[in-house]
Amino acid sequence: MYHNVNHEILRINKMIEDIYPYQYIDIIPISNWEFEQNGELKNIDIGFEWKRENFPVKFRKKFNIPKDYYGEFWFGGETLIKIDGKAYGEINEYHREIDLTIIADGEEHIFEAETVPYNLFGSPTGKTIFEKANFIKINFDVRKLIRYFMGISQIIENADNFALINELSSLIDNTYNLIDIPRKTSDYLSTIERSPQLYKRLSSIWSKPQFEKFTGKILEVSSALEYLKTELEKLKEKYPKIGKVYVTGHAHIDYAWLWPIEETKRKIVRTFSNAILLAKKYPYFTFTQSSAQMYKNIENMELFNEIKKLEEENRWDANGGMWIESDTKLPSIESLIRQFYYAQKYFKEKFGRYSNVCWLPDVFGFSWILPQIAKQAGIDYFFTTKLTWNEKNQFPYDICYWRGIDGSKVIYHSFNNPKDGYNGHLDAECTLKTFRNFRNRDIFDGTLLTYGYGDGGGGPSEDHMMDFEITNNLPYVPKLIPTTARQFFELLDEKIKDKEIPIWDNELYFEFHRATHFTQLNMKKFHKLLEDELYFTEYILAANNIDYDFSESWEKLLTMEFHDIIPGSSIKEVYDEAEKILKEEIEKCREGVDKNLNDSEEYSLINFSNYSSDKYFESKEKFELIAQKTYDGKYIYEIDSLPKFSNIIIRKGDPKIVNTSLEDNNILENEFYFVEVFADGIKVFDKRKGRNLFQDKGNLLILYDDVPLAWGAWDIDYNYKKFGEKLKAKDISVVENGELRKVVKVLYEYETTKVEQYISLSIGMKRIDIKTKIDWHLRKKLLKAIFPIDILSRYARFDISGGYITRPVHKNTSYEQAMFEVYMHRWFDYSEPDFGVAILNNELYSTSIDNNTFGLSLIHGPIYPDIIADKGKHEFVYSIMSHSNNIKEIYEEAERINKPLRILKKDIVKTNEFLDVSPLKVIAFYKKGNRKILRVVEVEGKRGKIDMKVKFNYTKSYLTDILGNKIKDINGTVEFQPFKIYTIVFE
């Protein structure tokens, strides 16, 4: 080969330019269309520009389709094609043609295009112009020849075998020499309009020549194509294929992201229509698609029945295991359980079988509690590609066992496709690079690869299907084997049974998108409020022997857990809708209680938590109890602590107000703590242990510049600490002081942003509460509360809802350096053997780690994709406590601020310790028919045996998995192991 590789590639591209226009034998314009927008009809033609308001718009025409012709269209945006009223296929920037040969039956058909003024990724189209509508007759020999030339070019560019490269270069020349391309000036110039690269290049010269519309022409290439295929067969023997790549069609459809949910529902129909059309044409086409919610969206369409038929043929794999491709870090353990519960029930009912793969290609890291939940849902396999994005460290395996917090194991697989990731292709470059990146060839003979356009949907195209055939006819590159997720993992499982497989025993930490723990705070707030409301509502109704179905509320909650919704990485329109949905479902829960429980003249005070309650509760109502007026117009009442799952009657009447005084000092003190409040933080002294909690001060509010490496809403940069400014209080004042508690208000102002903190300490309380109100008006700034804890330990513990994870605080390795920001749920803790400090919260999810210094992430102000994300008012509570390294104390206090006492003016069963499963933690209790379902989890890392004590009648009890499948009878006794989930059914 004379040229270097880059020049050889350019030379082949010039050859492709010459034959490119001859893909089209005939091009027939389609004119005279009916256009509908907002109910108004008009007759239009090619070139019509429509207004982008009030979409989708519709283009209609009746016609007979010529035999063997495709359609070529551009209506001004992403488009669903309907034929005779039924969804048929799609048009978008990657699917400009559609096969009409299937319906070229000599009959007249109604063609309808339903168009939105956006591209696949939610960006507005430049102009909403009806640019193109043609019948086209395609010369598939020419098109295949082009794809062969492209594939050979990719091998030349990427192969490491110079002899093969030389032979392929010669083969290209010999093949090209067999093609008689018209060179007459008028003939050649007539084709330029259909040669995109050449047209673009010639249109940029000074005089900008005008080119006529190309109407198609026959170019005979069959002999050249046959010669090429024959010679490639010989080369395949000489340079055999180097491995296997198992391929499945796929369309990653973000349920919301850069477009609202309503648009996603249209994307689903367009994408699924396209996939069904390809399945009708290509017997080797297979397709894998997750998310029960997406199938529910199309249940009442003919599409759904066609999908079910393909599923029965094992060509469409409705798999994934979850209601939606959910975030796994922010939802509670019960929410994650319901993700699998509702999805698996749906898949079983609609498709006759459970999912066997937890399919999460794009989720931003994975909780350590996930393997156990998946296994209990009948899922043995886990798939993602996201960890290939890591900014610092490669995840070490492509195949391994992922062991969860309780010891449950699932088979993990990932692939690393540097050419568009899970939105893969079937050309030589993509398959070769993906196979080369596959690191576990000693375990299995090939890797999975998904192909098709995605994120905004779209899915595979006819080019993908042609490349499947062509790549398999090329030498050297891996063999493509059609599969589905189900088939691939079952084969993988069978082949690795007797092999030594590496084990990853930890969370799957994602070294990017750490800021999704604290972006769009209101979204996270209302999501957690609905989680809490569902827990309470199910409990209180079941405790009163009432069966009420909250499936609809659960499904809406689960949908909001999609991995671009709850993390905060979507556009503003998504959050406007999501918050509205969450608020509505919260109200429906309250209505469920109101409708199903009779009114009462008495007020019940209810402890629905796993531990005894605080000795205080707040209310605007007046009760005959010892009370103190609060700074915000309520009363704080003193009571005897209520046992877990208990309630008492409280009487309406005038409170017994305790003495109050507003001493003007900034000191809070009770029998446990001595707290001093300063303009730049607080000092806390543990009176029992005789030691400070912090090195000097804690709760330092520091405002950092927030300029991440890549994506604003997603990321926080490693170097952010270099750009911080400590805030100093503008004012400190005592706003409440009495026999029950004292509250000091600290006011910070920065430009137009205001932070108010109400630091309170009650008599007998083992924690210091910091109620924080923020009125946020900053962009690209990050606010943290910093705690330099006076402890020497190499590890800290973090709540992950179903137990805790221990993470290193030092930076010895690059893995530890990368974990500079981590997620948690209701607390993190830093302890020595006999003393520890925990920071609790009621709706925050993130902290930084830097040796003994932790930084609770409060709020930031990204500008993409929502330019005013988190602008406005926010309110939350975090708390400080010390303890004797007793993790139960932490759980107790965390639950007290997250499940405060509730007041109901309803006729409810009076109970004292209605449920007692200590030391296990109740995460759900609800009634279904004649069964009461109790779900518990061990959270402290213990094992043992308990005799459950419940205050209701039952005749038998048995253990089930999370889907309700019976495991064994237990007769009220449970043997438990560390961090295990147990579902107990009482009948």
Whole-number pLDDT of residue 761: 98
Q: What is the pLDDT of residues 841-882, one digit of tens each?
A: 999 999 999 999 999 999 999 999 999 999 999 999 999 999
Domain assignment present for residue 887? The answer is: yes
Domain assignment present for residue 789? The answer is: yes
Q: What is the pLDDT of residues 536-563, one digit of tens each?
A: 999 999 999 999 999 999 999 999 999 9
Residues 494 and 555 in one domain: no
**CATH number of the domain that residue 543 is part of:** 1.20.1270.50
Gap between the Cα atoms of 109 and 429, Å rounded: 41
Whole-number pLDDT of residue 798: 98
SS (H, E, C) 593-608: HHHHCCEEEEEEEEEC
Residues 876 and 986 in one domain: no
**CATH number of the domain that residue 965 is part of:** 2.60.40.1180
Q: What is the pLDDT of residues 674-722, one digit of tens each?
A: 999 999 999 999 999 999 999 999 999 999 999 998 889 999 999 999 9
Whole-number pLDDT of residue 659: 86
**What value does the mean pLDDT take over residues 472-484?**
98
Residue for token pair 């112009």: 129
**What value does the mean pLDDT take over residues 236-261?**
98
Gap between the Cα atoms of 865 and 567, Å rounded: 12
Name the average pLDDT for the chain: 97
Residues 506 and 518 in one domain: no
Q: What angle do helix axes 140-158 and 162-176 make, rounded to 10 degrees?
A: 150
* Percent of the chain scoring above 70 in pLDDT: 100
Q: What is the pLDDT of residues 614-651, one digit of tens each?
A: 999 999 999 999 999 999 999 999 999 999 999 999 99
| End residue of a domain, out of 861, 878, 903 | 903
Q: Which residues pair with 771 in a beta bridge?
A: 758, 877
Gap between the Cα atoms of 37 and 130, Å rounded: 14
Q: What is the largest CA-CA distance in the chain?
A: 104
| End residue of a domain, out of 579, 594, 609 | 594
Gap between the Cα atoms of 483 and 491, Å rounded: 10
**CATH number of the domain that residue 869 is part of:** 2.70.98.30
Whole-number pLDDT of residue 2: 82
Domain assignment present for residue 151? The answer is: yes
Residues 501 and 519 in one domain: no
Q: What is the pLDDT of residues 342-393, one digit of tens each?
A: 999 999 999 999 999 999 999 999 999 999 999 999 999 999 999 999 999 9
Whole-number pLDDT of residue 208: 86
Q: Which residues pair with 618 in a beta bridge?
A: 636
Residues 460 and 588 in one domain: no
Whole-number pLDDT of residue 682: 98
Q: Is the dihedral of CA 257, 262, 268, 274 positive or negative?
A: negative
* Number of Cβ atoms within 10 Å of the Cβ of 811: 15
Whole-number pLDDT of residue 109: 97
Q: Which of 115-119, 120-124, 483-487, 661-665 has the lowest mean pLDDT?
A: 661-665
Whole-number pLDDT of residue 836: 98
Residue for token pair 């698609």: 289
Residues 703 and 792 in one domain: yes
Gap between the Cα atoms of 30 and 45, Å rounded: 9
Residues 725 and 818 in one domain: yes
Cβ neighbors of 110 (< 8 A, separation 6 or more) are 60, 61, 62, 82, 83, 84, 85
Domain assignment present for residue 634? The answer is: no
**CATH number of the domain that residue 75 is part of:** 2.60.120.260
Could you tell me the two tokens for 657?
């107000």
Whole-number pLDDT of residue 3: 84
Whether the CB-CB separation of 491 and 462 falls below 8 Å is answered with no
Question: Domain range spanning residue 303?
Answer: 244-512
Phi, psi of 742 (to 5 degrees): -125, 140
Residues 151 and 227 in one domain: yes
**CATH number of the domain that residue 328 is part of:** 3.20.110.10
First to last CA, the chain: 79
CA angle 434, 439, 445 (to 5 degrees): 80
Domain assignment present for residue 756? The answer is: yes
Whether the CB-CB separation of 827 and 834 falls below 8 Å is answered with no
Domain assignment present for residue 536? The answer is: yes
* Number of Cβ atoms within 10 Å of the Cβ of 664: 9
AA identity, residue 587: E
The H-assigned helical ranges of 130-284 are: 140-158, 162-176, 185-190, 196-202, 222-238, 261-281
Residues 295 and 396 in one domain: yes
* Percent of the chain scoring above 90 in pLDDT: 98
Residues 557 and 497 in one domain: no
Whether the CB-CB separation of 708 and 519 falls below 8 Å is answered with no
Whether the predicted pLDDT of 1 surpasses 80: no
C-alpha atoms less than 13 angstroms from C-alpha of 100 in its C-beta half-sphere: 31
**What value does the mean pLDDT take over residues 938-951?**
96
Domain assignment present for residue 601? The answer is: no
Residue for token pair 């990050």: 782
| End residue of a domain, out of 192, 217, 238 | 238
Residues 149 and 73 in one domain: no
Burial of 553 (0-12, 13-18, 19+ CB in 10 A): buried
Q: What is the pLDDT of residues 651-681, one digit of tens each?
A: 999 999 998 887 779 999 999 999 999 999 9
Gap between the Cα atoms of 798 and 102, Å rounded: 58
Could you give the number of structural domains in the chain?
6
Residues 389 and 521 in one domain: no
Domain assignment present for residue 646? The answer is: no
Q: What is the pLDDT of residues 735-786, one digit of tens each?
A: 999 999 999 999 999 999 999 999 999 999 999 999 999 999 999 999 999 9
**What value does the mean pLDDT take over residues 238-250?**
97
